[in-house]
Amino acid sequence: MFRTIQNKLICTFGNIMTDLIKKPFNVKEIREQFPALRQKIYGKNLVYFDNGATSQKPQIVLDAINLFYSKENANIHRGVHYMSQKATTEYEASRIRIQKYLNAKKSEEIIFTKGATDSINLVASSYGELLQAGDEIIISAMEHHSNIVPWQMLCIRKGLVLRVAPINKKGELLMEEFDQLLSKKTKLVAITHISNTLGTINPVKEIIQKAHAVGAKVLIDGAQSIQHIKVDVRDLDCDFFVFSSHKVFGPTGIGVLYGKEDLLDRMPPYQGGGDMISKVTFERTTYNELPFKFEAGTPHIAGGICLGTAFEFLESLDMVAAEKHERELAKYAEDILDTFEGLHIIGEAKNKTSVVSFTVDGLHPFDLGTLLDKQGIAVRTGHHCTQPLMDFFKIPGTVRASFAFYNTKQEIDLFVEAFEKSLFMLK
């Protein structure tokens, strides 16, 4: 069935990837494509620095969402009528676009999920069934709760052992300690590509090579990376890679699990229901081929299609220039914030992306965030779903400014001005 769908997509999808002409990186032009950035909050121009939590959506994605629900809404894969066939074609074209963006070998290796969290839980529940008591899983001390709790649950259920690779005060993984944790008992390493709290870019390619040397599989949490840096899953040689649509300028409620085909074939289904079956009787059920084996029930069709539209938008940009711009924003913000007495940057890794987390002596992050909000500045405050990391730094939380390629130095200047006013009111 999947091969038939792929054949239908040839004319629709064509050579769109090779035919695309990237436009020069122009922040002003890019910003004009994001209507949410043009609004006022409490009478102030919005400065949106909470991209680590979710990104804003370009007009092309908003238009695609509206178009689907206005004129193309139909269920997929099983319908013979025109609208169902059209929706199916667009949904599977999106899968192929994502496959090519990640440089996955086959589109069957792209599984649509609810998001990065759901993808990790899928692997924990499905690949976890292949593990045995005494096997070990390694994570790092900077992981999001979504890459901690599923493994804890699996360890309790299967009698596995969870190991935690430590970090230093700069927020960098201690590779010598990581090496010492690796052994023949290690069956999986699950690690974030980029820390959502620290901005640290982990040396995942090196980690993958070392894990494979002892026979372990590797899951990369790419929720904070794919929107900032180029990801090539075959070059990395990761076994699994996960991300969420809503952080990569697409809709909420949809995400992706990439997995190597041979590994996915070995794994049992995560959920049962429609579309993930080949044949059902009351005596037994045989399961569908990839990717449908892991996609039970009616999916988030609009989300899947419009996630493809978000990648179409990304393909039109010079992402190397975008990454350079984001790093410049982070450095510009850190250089200014470092001049404030009593302010501490949390996360000073040599290799990091556009996240600036900080604390101020004597002030709670929530209070700072509340006052900044009243001045039109949207930042994140709290533990950022990394409570063990907060415990390591002995802090209750941070103020986090996380930038996207549509942010500007002028916005940082407004943020600093609002920050100074907030300090005056709080001290």
Q: Containing H/E element for 309? A: helix 301-315
Cα 249 from chain centre: 11
> In terms of DSSP H, where are the helices of 316-408?
319-337, 365-374, 387-393
Residue pLDDT, tens place only, 340-370: 999 999 999 999 999 999 999 999 999 999 9
- Token couple for 88: 């199916």
What is the DSSP-derived secondary structure letter of residue 250?
S
Residue 285 banded pLDDT, cuts 50, 70, 90: confident
Higher per-residue pLDDT: 306 or 21: 306
- Token couple for 112: 């649509």
Instruction: Please state, in angstroms and as integers, the Cα–Cα distance from residue 128 to each residue in 260, 365, 414, following that order.
Output: 16, 38, 48
What's the pLDDT at 224? 98
- Token couple for 402: 């996380």
Cα separation of 189 and 207, whole Å? 8
Cα separation of 56 and 36, whole Å? 7
Q: Please state the rounded mean pLDDT for residues 190-207.
A: 98
> pLDDT at residue 278 above 80?
no
> Which has the minimum average pLDDT: 1-10, 71-80, 183-192, 337-346?
1-10
Catalytic residue selected from 155, 238, 306, 385: 385
Whether domain 319-426 has CATH 3.90.1150.10: the reply is yes
CATH topology of domain 82-315: Aspartate Aminotransferase; domain 2 (3.40.640)
Q: What are phi and psi of 310, to 5 degrees?
A: -60, -40
Residue pLDDT, tens place only, 390-412: 999 999 999 999 999 999 999 99
Residue 274 banded pLDDT, cuts 50, 70, 90: confident
What's the pLDDT at 258? 98
Annotated domain spans of the chain: 82-315, 319-426
% of the chain with per-residue pLDDT over 70 = 95
Residue pLDDT, tens place only, 159-169: 999 999 999 99
- What average pLDDT is seen over the chain? 93
> pLDDT at residue 19 above 50?
no
> pLDDT at residue 170 above 90?
yes
Residue 140: strand, helix, or coil: strand
Cα separation of 272 and 293, whole Å? 9
Q: Please state the rounded mean pLDDT for residues 324-334.
A: 97
245: Cα within 13 Å, side-chain hemisphere: 33
For the question of residue 11 being annotated catalytic, the response is no
Residue pLDDT, tens place only, 75-130: 998 888 999 999 999 999 999 999 999 999 999 999 999 999 999 999 999 999 99
In the β-sheet with 398-402, what is the strand arrangement from edge to edge?
Answer: 343-345, 355-360, 398-402, 380-382
% of the chain with per-residue pLDDT over 90 = 87
What's the pLDDT at 135? 98
Cα separation of 225 and 326, whole Å? 12
Which of 127, 104, 125 has its CA nearest to residue 261?
A: 104
Q: C-alpha angle with apex 63: 58 to 66, nearest 5 degrees?
A: 130
For tokens 């989300």, what's the residue?
303
> pLDDT at residue 14 above 60?
no
178: left (phi over 0), alpha (psi -120 to 50) or beta: alpha
State the maximum Cα–Cα separation within the chain, in Å, rounded to a whole number.
72
Residue pLDDT, tens place only, 240-251: 999 999 999 999
For tokens 């239908």, what's the residue?
8
- Token couple for 42: 């409490």
- Do 197 and 357 touch, CB atoms closer than 8 A? yes
Residue pLDDT, tens place only, 33-54: 999 999 999 999 999 999 999 9
What's the pLDDT at 281? 76
